[in-house]
Amino acid sequence: MSPDPSRRAFLLRAAGGAAALPVATALARVSSLPGDAGAGEGYWRVVRAQFAFPEEKVPLNAANLCPSPRSVAERVAELTRDIDLDCSFPAREKFGRLLEESRAKVARYLGAHADEVALVRNTSEANNTINNGLPLKPGDEVVLWEENHPTNNVAWDVRAARFGIVVRRVATPARPEGVEPLVKAFTGAFGARTRVLALTHVSNLSGVRLPVKELCAAARARGIYVHVDGAQTAGALQVDLADMGCDSYAASAHKWLCGPKEAGILYVRGERVGEIWPGVVAPGWGHGVEPEVRGARKFESLGQRDDACLAAVGTTIDFHDLVGPARVEARVMELAAALKHGLRSAGLSLVTPGDPALSAGVSVIDVPEKARPRVADALYREHGIAGSTSGGLRLCPHVYNTLEHVERAVRAVASLRPLMA
């Protein structure tokens, strides 16, 4: 239930003032208000206030790019200024330590060991590191989901064309009614020559969430390597990679993690690191064929990096830890459920399943392909809601969004129905 008008006005003032406070102080203050302990709307207004975007231009496309909270943006700016003031080797020495702090925080957040985590440039680079680095022979088969991102799909076609491997794509039910049909779609494609299963945890085209834990178990029981593109889950859902059971996992800092731009995550299970060759060898690798760095660090030998960005990845994890991964997931699912319910109540058809076990934060409205650009453009220019045309009209709320943003989006999309014909 929304707060009464006087209380809502108070919370708005509190949220506005919170923008000038450290996020920990701001959240502690609102959590102490009667009726707002836990994760009430007052709490989420303060979270929203940590993001600089104006109410006139609301981002609702976390599947593509998220704003960073002030703590992350300010950390990037602070450390960039530090480098510009003194870019000497002695002044930059601290960035080695800050990189390792970021790595350790990411590893803990994802249920991994620090030696299994490389901080690369984005999910695309992480996906391609696995694609190009796995030792495969002509005739070996790779099973893909039809809805994988191009960097976990088309990139395999390119390798197949170069080296004679065989790609098999799996189509899943358009509107799955349970987990079992999804599992069977993939296990039915496994054969004697299948060496790799490459999946996307949540589709950016349909919003369907695959049962990756079950698929990892089924594939690994057959000796099949499993790579998971987690661009739509890291930062949105609680992820425990040890429990998931994949061999490798990719994600970006700039999506649901709300982190700095041009930073990505590549996890490779410890016993698998040695068999995968990096795509780039640069200073940091060493002077021989074998890397001089430990574990997955060999995948981030990429030449000069943005040290401020890499250090701020740790600040990003601090923000998620402060809010709490369980609370973040609950909020993402709450907003997605409210959005889907509102859209369906308005008579709109969704591509994305309503069942939370089969979906997450990505919601896709069924809009004819030719109508998508004009609908998305009108949604932004006339209603101040930024969405996407991927798979339909895609809307993806995150913790910086409020229930009012979701309600506004529902009203706006409903009003644009004439454009969908």
Q: Quick: pLDDT tens for 387-420.
A: 999 999 999 999 999 999 999 999 999 999 999 9
The answer to whether residue 5 sits within a structural domain is no
Instruction: Give residue for tokens 């706006």.
Output: 412
Higher confidence at residue 271 or residue 284? 271
What is the reported pLDDT for 177?
Answer: 87
Q: Where are the beta strands (DSSP E) in 44-182?
A: 58-59, 117-120, 141-145, 166-170
- Count the helices and strands in the chain (H runs, E runs): 15, 11
Q: Is 9 part of any domain?
A: no
Question: Which two structure tokens, joined as six digits, stand for 182?
Answer: 């999804």
Question: Which of 402, 411, 416, 410 is closest to 58 using CA atoms?
Answer: 402
Q: Supply angle C-alpha 120, 284, 118, rounded to 5.
A: 25
78 and 52, same domain (yes or no): no
Looking at the fold, whether 188 and 101 belong to one and the same domain comes out as: yes
- The answer to whether the CB of 299 falls within 8 A of the CB of 268 is yes
| Domain-terminating residue out of 320, 344, 378 | 320
The two structure tokens encoding residue 324:
């709490």
Q: What is the pLDDT of residues 290-338, one digit of tens each?
A: 999 999 999 999 999 999 999 999 999 999 999 999 999 999 999 999 9
Q: Is 97 among the domain residues?
A: yes
Say if 369 falls within a structural domain.
Answer: yes
Rounded average pLDDT over 104-117: 98
What the block records as the tokens of 32 is 């102490």
In a domain, 92, yes or no: yes
Of 271, 296, 320, the position where a domain reaches its end is: 320
Helical (H) or strand (E) element with 407: helix 403-415
Q: Computed over its alpha carbons, how large is the radius of gyration of the chain? A: 22
Output the domain CATH number for residue 37: 3.90.1150.10
Same domain, residue pair 336 and 312: no
Q: Are residues 308 and 335 in the same domain?
A: no
Q: Where are the alpha helices (DSSP H) in 134-252?
A: 154-163, 179-187, 212-220, 241-244
166-170 vs 194-200, strand pairing mode: unpaired
CATH number, domain at 188? 3.40.640.10
Q: Is the pTM value of this prediction over 0.85? A: yes
State the pLDDT at residue 284. 86
Handedness of CA 12, 65, 413, 342 (dihedral sign): negative
112 and 170 in a single domain? The answer is: yes
Last residue of a domain, one of 262, 292, 320: 320
Cβ–Cβ contacts within 10 Å for residue 299, how many? Answer: 27
Asked if the model's pLDDT at residue 13 lies above 60, the reply is: no
Shared domain check, 172 and 307? yes
Closest CA to 107 of 97, 118, 96: 118
Q: What pLDDT sits at residue 341?
A: 98
Residues 407 and 264 in one domain: no
Domain count, the chain: 2
Q: CA–CA separation, 268 vs 63, rounded Å?
A: 23
Q: Do 46 and 136 sit in the same domain of this protein?
A: no
Based on the fold, state whether residues 95 and 156 are members of the same structural domain: yes
Q: Are residues 155 and 262 in the same domain?
A: yes
In this predicted structure, what is the pLDDT of residue 421?
Answer: 86
Q: Is residue 89 part of a domain?
A: yes
In a domain, 337, yes or no: yes
Residues 237 and 145 in one domain: yes
Residues 95-123 have a mean pLDDT of 98
Q: What is the number of residues in the chain?
A: 421
Average pLDDT, stretch 29-56? Answer: 77
By the 10 Å C-beta count (0-12 exposed, 13-18 middle, 19+ buried), 199 is classed as buried
Which pairing describes strands 264-268 and 117-120: parallel, antiparallel, or unpaired?
antiparallel
Domain that holds residue 45: 14-68+325-420
What's the CA gap between 45 and 399, in Å, rounded? 9
Q: Are both 312 and 344 inside the same structural domain?
A: no
Convert the pLDDT of each residue in 341-399 to its tens digit: 999 999 999 999 999 999 999 999 999 999 999 999 999 999 999 999 999 999 999 99
Residue 25: its pLDDT value, please? 72
Let me know if residue 1 belongs to a domain. Answer: no
